[in-house]
């Protein structure tokens, strides 16, 4: 369903990329960083570690793994307590290699991260030293479905190739197919969300969620329930 819209969106994205590539010399570092991510033109680890660093105490909001049979990917989302910035740490493994152990969702990490060029949400590398702390009692403050859509819209305005946006939602009800906020606005849930586990934990009561908003759907990665954060 909706293949025409997806086709037009994808074609438009690649047209914008070809136009941006022709003007690469005039792009600022963040615009060029967004384009390089799309094109798969990597930065060296040394280049990133020598650049933009940010110290904070980071809450591990959630993590997600994918495996297409050739390449495994692990996305870990962190939010700084002082800065409020959310970054993603990406790990890859190919050829039968294993991914690093995931960070504990709901835990705190104190120390620096090195950020890649690009607009929010920015990719980052964990620095050294990183000190692991105890679990937090709740997720950071979230908002409504409308606020989540506004966040995605702002991200697309900065970066037309933004595929997903981390969002926090407060006091929402989870159904088998949707997340519904207090105003009655809803977003569908991705098929790879552990929705039955989420329903079992929430029991149909309002809860706080951390999710990836992607193609108009929510991939829920963690929930704030009964004085703790639960990974999904």
Is the per-residue pLDDT at 227 higher than 90? Answer: no
Beta strands in the chain (DSSP E): 53-67, 71-80, 86-94, 107-115, 122-126, 131-135, 164-174, 178-180, 186-188, 207-214, 217-225, 228-231
Percent of the chain clearing pLDDT 90 (strictly above): 91
Would you say 115 and 52 are in contact if contact means Cβ atoms under 8 Å apart? Answer: yes
How confident is the model over 3-32, as a mean pLDDT? 95
Q: What is the CA radius of gyration of the chain?
A: 18
Residue 102 — pLDDT band, cuts 50, 70, 90? confident
Per-residue model confidence (pLDDT) at position 70: 86
- Over residues 146-173, the mean pLDDT reads 97
Kindly report, residue by residue over 21-65, the tens digit of the pLDDT. Answer: 999 999 999 999 999 999 999 999 999 999 999 999 999 999 999
Cis upstream peptide for 129 (omega within 30°): yes
Q: Would you place residue 136 in the very low, low, confident or very high pLDDT band (cuts 50, 70, 90)? A: very high
pLDDT above 90 (res 121): yes
Euclidean distance between CA atoms 158 and 120, whole angstroms = 8
Determine the Cα–Cα distance for residues 223 and 208; give it in Å rounded to an integer.
Answer: 6
Asked if pLDDT for residue 1 goes beyond 90, the answer is no
| pLDDT value at 96 more than 80 | no
The alpha carbon dihedral of 164, 183, 170, 178 has a sign of: negative
pLDDT tens-digit series, residues 142-156:
999 999 999 999 999
What does the pLDDT read at residue 153?
Answer: 97
Distance CA 198, CA 189 (A): 11
Q: pLDDT tens digits, residue range 194-203?
A: 999 999 999 9
Could you give the angle at which helices 3-22 and 29-39 cross, rounded to 10 degrees?
130
- pLDDT band at 68, cuts 50/70/90? confident
pLDDT value of residue 94? 86
């Amino acid at each position: 369903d909706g293949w025409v819209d997806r086709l037009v969106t994808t074609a438009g994205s690649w047209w914008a990329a070809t136009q941006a590539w022709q003007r690469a010399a005039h792009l600022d570092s963040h615009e060029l960083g967004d384009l390089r991510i799309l094109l798969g033109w990597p930065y060296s680890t040394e280049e990133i570690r020598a650049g933009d660093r940010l110290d904070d105490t980071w809450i591990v909001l959630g993590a997600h793994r994918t495996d297409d049979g050739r390449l495994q990917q692990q996305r870990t989302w962190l939010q700084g307590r002082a800065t409020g910035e959310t970054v993603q740490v990406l790990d890859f493994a190919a050829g039968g290699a294993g991914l690093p152990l995931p960070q504990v969702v709901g835990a705190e990490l104190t120390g620096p991260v090195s950020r890649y060029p690009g607009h929010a949400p920015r990719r980052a590398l964990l620095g050294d030293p990183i000190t692991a702390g105890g679990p937090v009692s709740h997720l950071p403050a979230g908002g409504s479905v409308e606020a989540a859509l506004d966040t995605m819209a702002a991200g697309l305005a900065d970066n037309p190739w933004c595929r997903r946006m981390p969002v926090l939602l407060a006091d929402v009800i989870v159904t088998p197919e949707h997340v519904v906020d207090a105003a009655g606005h809803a977003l569908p849930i991705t098929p790879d969300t552990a929705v039955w586990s989420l329903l079992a934990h929430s029991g149909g009561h309002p809860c706080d969620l951390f999710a990836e908003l992607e193609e108009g759907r929510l991939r829920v990665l963690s929930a704030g329930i009964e004085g703790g954060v639960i990974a999904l």
